[in-house]
Amino acid sequence: MTDAPQHPLEDAGHLVGVPDEFQRLWTPHRMAYIKAGPEPLREECPFCEAPRYPDAERLIVARGTTAFVLLNLFPYNSGHLLVCPYRHIATYDQATPEEVAEIGALTQTAMRVLREVSHCDGFNLGMNQGVVAGAGVAEHLHQHIVPRWATDANFFPIIAKTKALPQLLGEVREAVADAWPV
């Protein structure tokens, strides 16, 4: 037997959130894609499929008559939204005047809501149409609304090919949906 001092196990609950030398990127929403394999959710168009499910389950924040708004599963920044027509069309020139008007109106509302809930400084808006243009889901038209902050640039995306996201998708969806005007 030794006379070494006994160190009782201590509850570490008080250490949660205490900074250490490690940087952590929390991306639990990506587990669905890891488990699904190399081509997840591609049996059917994800934008045609999403409206058939409860809003929270598919990250839908608002529904209109001809289009809806949902969070991007692979966001560039927290609050990265997509505006999609319900109709399965590939390019903007295939949209009806009603779809074009509602996509525009939903985009404006999304910008106002994101400004309110995230205090962003600006936006990137865009539609990548066709695989050659960088569309991840080229067969279904969707507009990106990416909130930007003066301080959101860092070395991660350039050097480490990593994007730091400070909020979980469910938390962002709830905040945006709660602030969306009825």
Q: Quick check: 83 and 142 in contact, CB under 8 A?
A: yes
| 119 has catalytic annotation | no
Which phi and psi (to 5°) does residue 148 adopt? -130, 145
The closest of 50, 55, 32, 125 to 88, measured between CA atoms, is 50
The closest of 154, 155, 128 to 140, measured between CA atoms, is 128
Q: Is 76 exposed, middle or buried (0-12, 13-18, 19+ CB in 10 A)?
A: middle
* Active-site pick, 29, 88, 119, 142: 142
Q: Which residues are tagged catalytic?
A: 142
